[in-house]
Structure 1
Amino acid sequence: MKLYYSPGACSLSPHITLHESGLKFEHVAAPTKTHQLDDGTDYYTINPLGYVPLLELDDGTRIAEGPAIVQYIADQVPEKKLAPANGTLERYKLQSWLTFIGTELHKGFSPLFNAATPAEYKTIVIDKLLSRLKWVDGQLAGKQYLMGDTFSVADPYLFTVTNWAPRVGVDISGFSNIAAFRERVAARPAVQAAMKHEGLLK
């Protein structure tokens, strides 16, 4: 398998998941600014949308979109319990979290990375993000991870997205449950391995 990623982008989530899975994979840097691989290949010829993550299987099949990729990885190693079994209520709860993180948080941060976004609109965006994060903070009360005491593929996605907060001026220091969650996730060897590979940790 090959994971196309860009350091610190949302591709960190499947990158962490791959390390958690123990599956063999190859890292391929696909920087979101240049869209050019190390060998000079135009990334648009691999993913016409130009963004990461993208997972390429050994037979050449390509899977796009982080929430789909992390579930695929989890289903290859059911013994790791990175996702509940398909068809169970718990799996739908996991998919609910992945969808919420993708649509309410991930996309919520996007305008803050765009230099062309007007300042007054950024204020609106940040207020909405903080209201969503306050809700997440409440959901984490008394829990180790989003799904309870078991780490799942939703956790690296929330960890990745909340990593962006200080980069774009969103102060989440007041959310104590999110802070404790982030510390727990950051301490995992797989998380440290992925972040070191991406140059996010020394």
Structure 2
Amino acid sequence: MLKLYYIAGTCSFVPHVALQWSGLQYTAEEVGRDTIKSAQYLALNPQGQVPLLTDGNWALSQNIAIIDYINDLAPDKGIYGATAYNDPKARAKARQWLAFANSDLHSGFKPIFGAARMIEGEEAQNKLKTNACDAVAKMFAGIDQVVAQQDYLTGHSISIADVYVYIEMHWAQRCKIDLSQYHNLNAFYQRVEADDGVTAVLKAQRLI
């Protein structure tokens, strides 16, 4: 059986939703930040990070790889959008936004969450965080423009890329990053949150 290891509210939220959408049998285990550095966990994922997916004795790390694997196991469940099963362009567009969320936008948060590991001195750390918050806010501009024209990033059906951006908006709220200049993001956030699979995982991870 599939098993997902996750830390609540992190990027492992995204494959958790993909599993929920897939209809596949799976279990999900919340782990602590101490657990992912343990010898037992590192034997499965030497990077010491979440998410981690196991399928029997086989282990897979990295968000996009895990999401692709889930999609391959349940290709008709709309993980990359309702039309993606028969439309390679729709799948590619969903993967484009997924890659943006996973690399560009996610990386933008690293100086905010890890300033103390990157630079010494409280003043320098605060400046780094401020600059990073400004840079992250600017990255949401393109998303706002897209969802001004359509409900979701790839059209009028939700895809897993929307879920990744949703959880990053959740981080932005925690970090007090002001996105109020973008007038379409709040409605987008509400639409994603209203999805049954997203709601189920929010409850499972005790985020609501």
- With the length of structure 1 as denominator, give the TM-score of the two structures: 0.89
Q: CA shift at 1:115, angstroms?
A: 4.7
Alignment of 1:155-166 (within 5 A): 155-166=162-173
Question: What is the rounded CA distance, in whole Å, between the counterparts of 1:181 and 1:68 in structure 2?
Answer: 26
Alignment of 1:13-92 (within 5 A): 13-31=14-32, 33-35=33-35, 42-58=40-56, 60-83=57-80, 84-85=84-85, 88-92=88-92
Question: What is the rounded CA distance, in whole Å, between the counterparts of 1:48 and 1:14 in structure 2?
Answer: 19
Alignment of 1:83-162 (within 5 A): 83=80, 84-85=84-85, 88-116=88-116, 118-162=125-169
Q: Which has the higher helix share?
A: 2
Aligned residue type for 2:42: Y
Question: What is the rounded CA distance, in whole Å, between the counterparts of 1:133 and 1:124 in structure 2?
Answer: 15
Please provide the CA RMSD for this pair. Answer: 2.0
Q: CA shift at 1:23, angstroms?
A: 1.2
Q: How many equivalent pairs are there?
A: 197
Q: Give ranges in structure 1 of 5+ residues lacking alignment.
A: none
Aligned residue type for 2:41: Y
Contact 2:85 2:91 in 1 (8 A): yes
Once the two structures are superposed, residues 99-147 of structure 1 have per-residue CA deviations (whole angstroms, 9 ceiling, x without a partner) of 1111211111111112515111222211211111011111111211111
Q: CA shift at 1:198, angstroms?
A: 0.9
**Secondary structure, aligned partner of 1:149:** coil
Q: CA shift at 1:149, angstroms?
A: 0.6
Percent of residue pairs identical: 35
Partner of 2:122: none
Contact 1:17 1:156 in 2 (8 A): no
- With the length of structure 2 as denominator, give the TM-score of the two structures: 0.86
